[in-house]
Structure 1
Amino acid sequence: MSRASTSRRGSDSRPELLSPAGSLEAFFAAMENGADAVYCGLPEFSARAKAKNVTFDDLGHMLDYAHERDRKIYVTLNTLIKEAELPTLVRTLADLEHQGVDAVIVQDAAVWRLARTHFPGLRLHASTQMTIHNAAGVRTLEKLGFSRAVLARELTLEEIAALRKQTRLELEHFVHGALCFSFSGQCYFSSWLGGQSGNRGRCAQPCRRRYRYQQQQGYYFSPNDLCAIDLLPELMAAGIGSLKIEGRMKSAEYVAAVVGAYRQVIDAAPAQRKEAVREAKQSLKLSFGRLPTRGFLTGPRPTDIAVPSVKGATGRFLGEISAAGRSSITFKTRDALHIGDRLRVQPHSDQAGTAFTVKTLSIGKRSAKQAPGGTLVNVPSPFENRFKKGDAVFKVSSRKAFTLSDAACRRRLKGAPPRPLPVSLSVRLQNGQLQLKAQSGEVTLERSFDVSSFEAQNNPLNTETLKEVFARGGDTPLELAELHTADLPPVVIPPRELKEIRRTFYGELAGLIARDREQQRRSHLEQAQAALLPEKEAAPAKNARLTVALGSLRDLHLLNDPAVDRIIVPLVPHRAADIAAGVAKLRNRREQVTWDLPFILFDTTWQQARDAVHALVSAGFHSFRLNNLGHFELFNGVREQETLKLTAGYRLFSLNTQAVSAWKDLGIGEVTLYPEDDRENLAALLRRDTGVETAITVHGQIPLITSRIHIKGVRSDRPVVSDRDEKYIVQSRGGLTTISSETDFSLIGHLAELRATGTERFVVDLAHVGAFSPRGKQILAAYAEDRPPAQTSSFNFERELV
């Protein structure tokens, strides 16, 4: 049963300040420094799996504590879900609805479908992982029953303001913290290197490492940290209702400093805002982040968002190690250093840094409790022979950190009173009986109590007296919201009797409510569990059909190959003339062509794409591959709607049968399964009948990162190389940057195994090499023989997707 809570903002127009709470300590830091709401994760299904996260027991007490103060708590379920995890997801949703969380933050369509169908008490927020970047995407969320969209961080203020005018949905945007180089939800870099998927909350952050381009070392894929504190009026004017701070992996100290700074600016009167921003920026210097940038808010081509010469590490740079002993380091500190400060030493290689707390330090041969900036210091290290001369030293937190142990946090939480449930009460006194009728949610209770009544000499029984008695819930979590009384006779009832009636009546009502809520939880859970698809008997596909994805229309004659059933061609909105010319060549092959929609369509090009779609439909084409929620509206008003053949591309995330069923609900007839997936999960999904045709990409170049960030001076003719000699191609086209491995993804060599699972269609993507190039011909020949092509990777297929 959900419970709406009132924001501490009251009825004013100030936006919600939304803070991370990656630990109980950070939760209290947010509460004490002015957050209107926090977002936190559970041990499962959180995009920050490495955060401490919270238990269900913690969450219940946190909700009591927050709601008592008119604050809100949103729970992140913003990862992709494997098939075997669906039963756990269902139990989680049932428990969250029962707990009365204020909203859940969603990436996977499975969570949306299960919540919409079986857990109506849950409010849904669309995670930034859903890559919502245009008005059509937001309007689609509105139709799907979401209450809020967390917009992509790549939007400008101008784009946000234009989007705001086209929807009534709540809009949330990040204003502070770490930025991803890629559009959120569209990065496969970490997973490609070792199966640790950013879309499952386990990003290993390879973008933060150092790379080499033409012998020039640099942090090419490491953005600086977002700081929009001086743009808050512009964000509010653009229509952002929730200002979100990133940082569930960050310390409570970070949360306290950043929340406090933003609270100060939000609450400042217009005349004092300039001074408030100045003071807040001084406070933010203590939050130990990277260099600040406004990101894309001020324009689509920021020059300060990613600077290759700037290290990707967080914290305040103190200096480089000048001497490294077996268990100590010596360096000249740029900043004051105290016992209790926490340091991280970052090696010159692209390996992760190592953190430790300063227990003792010395200046020369003298022990000291602190050292001023500019001092050469020696600090003992708890790690033997770990560090080297030249390694960088960063301060990541100070001795003045917000400190509260987990045990102290839990003691404080358990002191919070249970959230009161509102009661509407009607009272009548008739024939010596006090007749009560109460309603709370779906529960109604009527009871009559014999009472002793005496003719009143003064102060007869009245509404105010009854309100005073029944306002208190006693030992029950009940709160009088409304009181209705019939005409009351001029009598007095002993206060002791009224209090006893209240105790008995409220006790029974609270019991009924508890049983009703538990029954509702059980009912919703059982319905959702029954809706999960059972395994079916395997029906091997004798000859899965072949689709080939092309890079342009010039390879259309590949359809003359009898082995090729269908081709996929990119739909480039601004090249309508080329599309029209290509259409003329196709004659009677229209049914064999699927047009692939660009998954990033900012509002400035969305109408062009819509016009192109309508022109193609008018020319007799009906098959389109959708790659973002904003694509569904492209087909509004198409006369031949019933003849459309819509396919979900892999960027719409189909990792489980509930997601596949969600796309089916939205009119999709075929889904391309997720290339990041592993053998076990693919088989588990395909063992269940969704009623939707499935396709698997068995060869292609995986764009590990897709970004709006331009990397100055880096071109596609030379690779960017890691310290491990892994090579990556950087391409810029149409205002977007993609980073791909020189090594192709391929499941060729496993085709017989995939056919045995019942796969109905294979997709070979040759857009990057061309179907008739030597490499393209080699790949198609390998496909025909089910022989692994040289220099390819099976991605996560043969290892677990974590």
Structure 2
Amino acid sequence: MKKIEILSPAGSFEAMIAAVQNGADAVYLGGSEFSARAFAGNFGREELLKAIEYCHIRGVKVYLTVNTLVKEAEIEKFIEYVEFLYESDIDALILQDIGMASLVRRHWPDFEIHASTQMSAHSLEDVRLLESMGFSRVVLSRELSIEEISHISKNCGVEIEIFVHGALCICYSGQCLMSSMIGGRSGNRGRCAQPCRREYSLIRADGSKVNAKGSYLMSPQDVCTADEIARLAESGAVSLKIEGRMKRPEYVAVVTKIYKKALERHARGESILADRQYIKDLYSIFNRGFTKGYLFGKVNAQIINTLKPSNAGVYLGEVAYYDRQRKKLGIKLEDGLSKGDGLSLGVSVGRILTGRIIKDHAYAGESIEIDFIGEAADGEKIYKTSNASLLKSAGQSYENGIESVKIQLSARFEAMLGEYPKLTLTDSDGNKASAQGSKAAEKALKVSLSEQKVKEQLEKLGNTPYSINDFHMALEEGLSMPVSIINEMRREAVEQLNDMRAVRHRGRTSRGVSAIYEAGASGGKGLGKNSPKLRVKVRNAEQLKAVLGSTNFKDIEMIYYESIEELADAIEIASAAGARLVCSLPRIMRNWEYSGFKRLMGSGIADFQTGSLGQLRVACENGMTAHTDYSLNVFNSFSVNVLSGYGAKTVCLSPELRLDEISEIAERNEADAELEALAYGRVQLMISEYCPVGTLDGSCGESRKKAACKNDSTYLLEDQKGERFPVSKDGSCRSIIYNSKAVCMLDHLEEMHSSGVDVLRIDISLEEPKLAAEIVKAYASTIKNGYRLDAKALEVYASLKEQGITKGHYYRGVE
């Protein structure tokens, strides 16, 4: 069995030190470029080099996040940055962009790459495709259960990494466009504005609001699995990842130490529960409420915290009274309190008073007073949101150059009369550092040098990351030697050892940046040479009938059909009309759902719209025709080339791209696949295993009851600005949240086509059948009329504009 790794976050140099000094086996951090946590401290190039050296000397690996989507215009800069990282001795890159992953594998084949959780790998089939691309590790989606993780680990040839502690995303990572669409800050570009932590109301079809306890309807609790360390260790995952690159160093210190100790206890056959203080410390350092998450079967109300999106703290007690005149707050404590602790009332504790006695600490059961100016009601619950003593002890574990974790060395000291003494230090990796004394050993006139004295001097390694646990002496009796020479030898050997350990990957040489940038093409296929193709996405048979009944089927090249339950009827309807039907698969397909996919391939349909890498792999390996959806986050021509290489006939581009950025892709695209873009429809902003409808207005609070599902696609999430986002679901009862406005490019179709888009997609899956048919007819007639809107098309456009439409990112883009 491979050693299980504790992987800790490092959002700053100080946090990196905190992780290393508290037992992390590896750290993940972001550079100042291409990192998915653009608002973390991150590391400039000089600081990054120092961080790598610091970690490597101490036996800790460094994984660098280059896990954002890369635009065509940024590829040359990306290549230069990877070249720098390669030469810097980074142990592995964490990547999201499949195009950039293919580039790295091609030009730096010995550079280890890990698939970010932003790649949405949630099935064995996803992992197998990533393995075939050359990834050595895959970070699985947080939604998977421990059983699924075990199944994947046993049936693939890559390492598996899982998140075990910290913040949860309510949406599958890599599938969230909400921050991007409502505020222009793309989570896929490292700038997530955390819209899931904002306040919302859930609105029924009749306009009434669901009475929810709290207003943070999309804000999940933090995951905490320290007391499940045994099951985690036996899951087959080799890396247990702690979330938190935006957290303070003390947080990193506390959480790293606890998970490391838990893993060590498990290895010794002990239980983490032997010390409940560990779990209490996890609550104290930061929590939004804790859940064991999807890992251990928790769903809906068991993962959400509608009351507070930030640190919940630890329950301290209730307000006994508030004396405004004396400016004193009385509290009956149910937990300990210390001077300097932070409270949910927005204050830091100064004096603690019991009668006339002033003290720094008080204990559970005591009634105390604190100085207070503000607002507080009798009986109000108070929470301790920061623990001064815990923060202090956490800081002491890594501050002031302390070396808390020691590397064991073997030492050999040799000294013979008339010869120069020699010291050899050897570490467990086989590195050997040797130092020779500056003066030959002499015969002692009085007190001779003893082995004990040599040992004492060599053990003076306090300010280094080393300790000696194995001594070998070849010391001739009756010798004399200044202690200063032994000390010099020790220092020299340690410096040599540091130099050896600092470089883990010897032999890395420059690949030459100028020779690398090819962008997968030399001139592309030309822009807008042929008429654009029109494809329509519908959800059900009613929409399908309406569209085919009002539009010449020859004007529509293909129809993407979503409702798998009604697929047989849809095939019949389309066949009768002479239309080509494509089965639109759900974006998320877990391991057990692939059996249904394989049955579909024998149902008389040969075209599939694929929303995941695994679906693409299975479809093409079984001789089906695949058209990839925008959920695959294609941002550059390299990604187009990768998907085309796996068999995709159509590649839908990300809706986060501007038209000029699409042009840049098209100009360099020589792949066989056609380029598709959304010309009409509501963008799917989130897909989630959490159902706000069933949780807040149904009977699915602690389990998913598909038969009793109330999500009939009529509910809306309303934000504080009054924007309303439709809440729907897929065939497996996953929630899908759509944008409040539909993208409508009816009046800009010529620009879309001339930018290099081969296929214009009209998504009417949320529209009433009559309007759906009118929209499709308007688009078809506009294309036939040379992009001129006729009277009926203008009428449709005016109606849509009145309802509220958007141009999406086609003109504004994302940073």
TM-score range, shorter chain: 0.7 to 0.9
Query: Partner amino acid for 2:52?
Result: L
Match of 2:137 among 142, 148, 165: 148
Looking at structure 2, the residues matched to 169 and 459 of structure 1 have their Cα atoms a distance apart, in angstroms, of 57
- Residues matched between the structures, number: 685
Residue 196 of structure 1 corresponds to: 185
Match of 1:83 among 52, 72, 76: 72
Residue 262 of structure 1 corresponds to: 259
Q: Sort the Cα spacing of 1:342 and 1:669 in 2 relative to 1 into closer, same or farther, 3 A.
A: farther
State whether structure 2 residue 719 is matched by structure 1 residue 728.
no
Residue 747 of structure 2 corresponds to: 749
- The answer to whether the 8 A contact 2:119-2:173 is kept is yes
- The answer to whether the 8 A contact 1:60-1:99 is kept is yes
CA deviation string 1:469-521 (max 9, x = no partner): x954889xxxxxxxxxxxxxxxxxxxxxxx9xxxxxx9xxx9xx99x968x31
Q: Sort the Cα spacing of 1:277 and 1:409 in 2 relative to 1 into closer, same or farther, 3 A.
A: closer
Match of 1:777 among 759, 774, 777: 774
Structure 2-normalised TM-score?
0.74
Which segments of 5 or more consecutive residues in structure 1 lack a partner in the other structure? 1-11, 346-355, 382-386, 417-457, 476-498, 500-505
- The answer to whether the 8 A contact 1:360-1:368 is kept is no
Q: Sort the Cα spacing of 1:741 and 1:59 in 2 relative to 1 into closer, same or farther, 3 A.
A: same
Q: Which moved more, 1:258-267 or 1:685-694?
A: 685-694
Looking at structure 2, the residues matched to 380 and 61 of structure 1 have their Cα atoms a distance apart, in angstroms, of 46
Q: CA deviation at 1:629?
A: 1.1
Residue 282 of structure 2 corresponds to: 284
Residue 713 of structure 1 corresponds to: 696
Residue 230 of structure 2 corresponds to: 233
Match of 2:611 among 622, 627, 636: 627
Structure 1-normalised TM-score?
0.75
Map 1:303-382 to 2 at 5 A.
Answer: 303-308=301-306, 310-316=307-313
State whether structure 2 residue 744 is matched by structure 1 residue 738.
no
Residue 216 of structure 1 corresponds to: 211
- The answer to whether the 8 A contact 1:340-1:357 is kept is no
- The answer to whether the 8 A contact 1:29-1:402 is kept is no
Q: CA deviation at 1:138?
A: 1.3
Match of 2:654 among 645, 669, 674: 674
Q: CA deviation at 1:690?
A: 3.2
State whether structure 2 residue 5 is matched by structure 1 residue 16.
yes
- The answer to whether the 8 A contact 2:91-2:112 is kept is yes
Looking at structure 2, the residues matched to 93 and 331 of structure 1 have their Cα atoms a distance apart, in angstroms, of 58
Q: Sort the Cα spacing of 1:266 and 1:472 in 2 relative to 1 into closer, same or farther, 3 A.
A: closer
State whether structure 2 residue 536 is matched by structure 1 residue 548.
yes
Residue 665 of structure 1 corresponds to: 645
CA deviation string 1:626-656 (max 9, x = no partner): 2111113323653xx3xx5422210111111
**Partner SS state of residue 223, structure 2:** strand
Looking at structure 1, the residues matched to 167 and 585 of structure 2 have their Cα atoms a distance apart, in angstroms, of 30
Match of 1:60 among 37, 45, 49: 49
Query: Partner amino acid for 1:64?
Result: E
- The answer to whether the 8 A contact 1:289-1:315 is kept is yes
Residue 760 of structure 1 corresponds to: 758
Q: CA deviation at 1:223?
A: 0.8
Q: Which moved more, 1:174-183 or 1:190-199?
A: 190-199
Looking at structure 1, the residues matched to 507 and 284 of structure 2 have their Cα atoms a distance apart, in angstroms, of 46
Q: CA deviation at 1:724?
A: 1.6
Q: Which moved more, 1:733-742 or 1:91-100?
A: 733-742
CA deviation string 1:285-327 (max 9, x = no partner): 222211110111222645411143x31212427899999x9xx
Match of 2:626 among 623, 646, 653: 646
Looking at structure 2, the residues matched to 357 and 687 of structure 1 have their Cα atoms a distance apart, in angstroms, of 58
Looking at structure 2, the residues matched to 297 and 404 of structure 1 have their Cα atoms a distance apart, in angstroms, of 31
When the two chains are superposed, the root-mean-square deviation of aligned CA atoms in Å is: 4.6
Residue 171 of structure 2 corresponds to: 182
Query: Partner amino acid for 2:239?
Result: S
Q: Sort the Cα spacing of 1:536 and 1:144 in 2 relative to 1 into closer, same or farther, 3 A.
A: closer
Q: Which moved more, 1:149-158 or 1:263-272?
A: 263-272
CA deviation string 1:203-232 (max 9, x = no partner): 111111222231635221111110111222
Q: Sort the Cα spacing of 1:123 and 1:393 in 2 relative to 1 into closer, same or farther, 3 A.
A: farther
Which segments of 5 or more consecutive residues in structure 2 lack a partner in the other structure? 203-208, 406-416, 437-488, 490-495, 698-710, 783-788
**Partner SS state of residue 668, structure 2:** coil
Q: Sort the Cα spacing of 1:720 and 1:393 in 2 relative to 1 into closer, same or farther, 3 A.
A: farther
**Partner SS state of residue 272, structure 1:** coil
Q: Sort the Cα spacing of 1:775 and 1:635 in 2 relative to 1 into closer, same or farther, 3 A.
A: closer
Q: CA deviation at 1:546?
A: 1.0
**Partner SS state of residue 696, structure 2:** coil
- The answer to whether the 8 A contact 1:541-1:759 is kept is no
State whether structure 2 residue 812 is matched by structure 1 residue 799.
yes
CA deviation string 1:732-751 (max 9, x = no partner): 44231122234223233222
CA deviation string 1:377-398 (max 9, x = no partner): 56789xxxxx999999976544
Match of 1:529 among 508, 517, 520: 517
Looking at structure 2, the residues matched to 684 and 331 of structure 1 have their Cα atoms a distance apart, in angstroms, of 66
CA deviation string 1:219-265 (max 9, x = no partner): 21111110111222112222121111111111111111111111111
Query: Partner amino acid for 2:759?
Result: R
Q: CA deviation at 1:664?
A: 2.1
Q: CA deviation at 1:153?
A: 0.9
Q: CA deviation at 1:277?
A: 5.8
Q: CA deviation at 1:663?
A: 1.4
- The answer to whether the 8 A contact 2:634-2:640 is kept is yes
